[in-house]
Structure 1
Amino acid sequence: MPKPQCFQYEDRPDGTVLITHAGRQATILRGPRADQFRHEVTTADPQLVMARWTGNYKRGNERTARNHPRNRH
């Protein structure tokens, strides 16, 4: 089963990189950060790289933390 392609990026003519998640803008990278992103996205799994650059990824403990007695109000 293929992984869903939630993240997409657009390399713009002005040198910026727009990263979207599920069709909505997640971040814009400029200058050296955009260059570093371009290098990383070609050498590793693009979906994981974009998730890391946007900070939009889950660690698997959200449900556990929500159900912890200290977090119930």
Structure 2
Amino acid sequence: MPRPQGFAYQELRDGSVALTHHGRPAGVLRGDRAAKFLAEVVTGDAQLVMARWTGAYRFGNERRARNHPRNQGGRTRRG
């Protein structure tokens, strides 16, 4: 599985944390969740921590599996 990349975070004035992935908003953490995130991002692999907290990391095969004929649910694809 490739390592996650492209994540960034920014601490905001009100104590919340804004997470982005390749420049696009991926989530905002507030209160206790923001504090836990900041403590974890300092001690661990920052990219992996941000991917896990946003839920934005995948195994990379979802799109390919979704388009496989056996996963079409009996529907025929018209194109």
Compute the TM-score of the two structures, normalised by the length of structure 1. Answer: 0.81
Q: Percent identity?
A: 51
**1:16 matches 2:41:** no
Once the two structures are superposed, residues 35-65 of structure 1 have per-residue CA deviations (whole angstroms, 9 ceiling, x without a partner) of: 0000110010000000000000012442345
The equivalent of 1:70 in structure 2 is: 71
Count of residue pairs brought into register by the alignment: 71
The equivalent of 1:38 in structure 2 is: 38
Distance (whole Å) between structure 2 residues aligned to residue 32 and residue 18 of structure 1? 14
Task: Give the number of the structure whose residues are more often helix, by fraction.
Answer: 1
**1:49 matches 2:49:** yes
For structure 2, which runs of at least 5 residues remain unmatched after alignment? none
Deviation at 1:14, TM superposition (A): 1.0
Distance (whole Å) between structure 2 residues aligned to residue 68 and residue 50 of structure 1? 34
Using a 3 Å threshold, how does the CA distance of structure 1 residues 46 and 15 change in structure 2: closer, same or farther?
same
Deviation at 1:66, TM superposition (A): 3.8
Verify the 8 A CA contact 2:65 2:71 in the aligned structure 1: no
Distance (whole Å) between structure 2 residues aligned to residue 36 and residue 68 of structure 1? 43
Distance (whole Å) between structure 1 residues aligned to residue 70 and residue 28 of structure 2? 38
For structure 1, which runs of at least 5 residues remain unmatched after alignment? none
Compute the TM-score of the two structures, normalised by the length of structure 2. Answer: 0.76
